[in-house]
Structure 1
Amino acid sequence: MITPMAIERTFVRTRKLATLLAGATLAASTTLVAGAAPASAAGPCGSSYSRVGVYAISRGDGTRTGTLEVYYSSSARKNCALTYGYGAYANTRSWKRVTISRADGSQEDTDANYYTYYAGPVYVSAPGACIDVAGTVPDWVTRELNNVHCG
């Protein structure tokens, strides 16, 4: 026969176990978040690259469809670019394209396909010169920047 005292003990043990598990879960998730990206972690272009520009890719009505990111490495003396989907195009298979070149049109590097996450990275060496960069997400929605990130 189950007594009220037995029920109370079971309830207290269950509550203590739940509290311990919740604490352990919180500690583990805090450790994972804090340790997820050490300061020395490489970015999408490589460990020596720093982001120098972020540009929205939008339809004519202003609806954002993607993001164009530009990076630079002073040690490699190169620029790098990627195109990500945004909103309905984020983390879904859709047409994504990124192009980078020197502003004179030379050394063009392009990556384009039906990607889930991003197109790129693409690279250009343009020390002392400006670059052109463009991103497309999805078909026909493009952001172009000419003569930018001069150095």
Structure 2
Amino acid sequence: MRTRSKLAVLSGVVMVAGGLVTGATAASASTAAAASPCGSGYGRVGVYAIPKTGARKGTLEVYYSSKTGKNCALAYGYGATYNHKTYKSVLISVSDGTRADHDYGQFSRYAGPVYVSAPHKCIDVSGWIVGTKRVLSRVHCS
């Protein structure tokens, strides 16, 4: 094989390998962007144990999208309350009480997601897991 042919083949292999790496990186980036349970563009802004003190029963997570101005929340079970149908509830509202969203019931993993549009306002968010709760008032003021 001539030197030119060898170089052409080697260049082609490098370009294909580079494309595969770029494709893998793009796939992981899009997977990471879609990884939020609230949807694309939401970033986690708070994680809170349920209840605040004592034996942990669950976790309250709060997300925010600067693109939409919406907040999102979920209440996850923890330990014996995760992956077992138990009562779980999550509530999110604008602190002034104008808008709210609530999800509750017998869930295996989590209640939610619930959403509220609250640009430039504070929110109230609560999570209940098997009779224990966590209530946050006037938080995540944007």
Shift of 1:38: 2.9
Output one character per residue of 1:67-118: Cα deviation in whole Å (capped at 9) or x when no partner: 0000000011100000000011011100000000000122110000000011
* Residue number in structure 2 paired with 1:144: 135
Of 39, 43, 64, the match for 2:36? 43
Q: Spell out the pairing of 1:14-93 with structure 2 (5 A cutoff).
A: 38-58=31-51, 62-93=54-85
Of 96, 103, 108, the match for 2:95? 103
Task: Say whether the 8 Å CA contact 1:59–1:141 is kept in structure 2.
Answer: no
Higher gyration radius (CA): 1
Shift of 1:59: 7.5
Amino acid of the structure 1 residue aligned with 2:119: P
Amino acid of the structure 1 residue aligned with 2:91: T
Output one character per residue of 1:46-83: Cα deviation in whole Å (capped at 9) or x when no partner: 011000000000286x0000000000000111000000
TM-score (norm 2): 0.76
Q: Give RMSD over aligned pairs.
A: 1.6
Unaligned ranges ≥5, structure 1: 1-34
Number of residue pairs matched by the alignment? 114
Amino acid of the structure 2 residue aligned with 1:66: G
CA gap 1:50/1:93 in 2 versus in 1, 3 angstroms: same
* Residue number in structure 2 paired with 1:130: 122
Amino acid of the structure 1 residue aligned with 2:137: N
- Separation (CA, whole Å) in 2 of partners of 1:48 and 1:38: 12
Partner of 1:68: helix, strand, or coil?
strand
Q: Extract structure 1 runs of 4+ deviating beyond 3 A.
A: none
TM-score (norm 1): 0.72
Unaligned ranges ≥5, structure 2: 1-27
Amino acid of the structure 2 residue aligned with 1:48: G
> Identity of counterpart residues, as a percentage?
57
Partner of 1:70: helix, strand, or coil?
strand
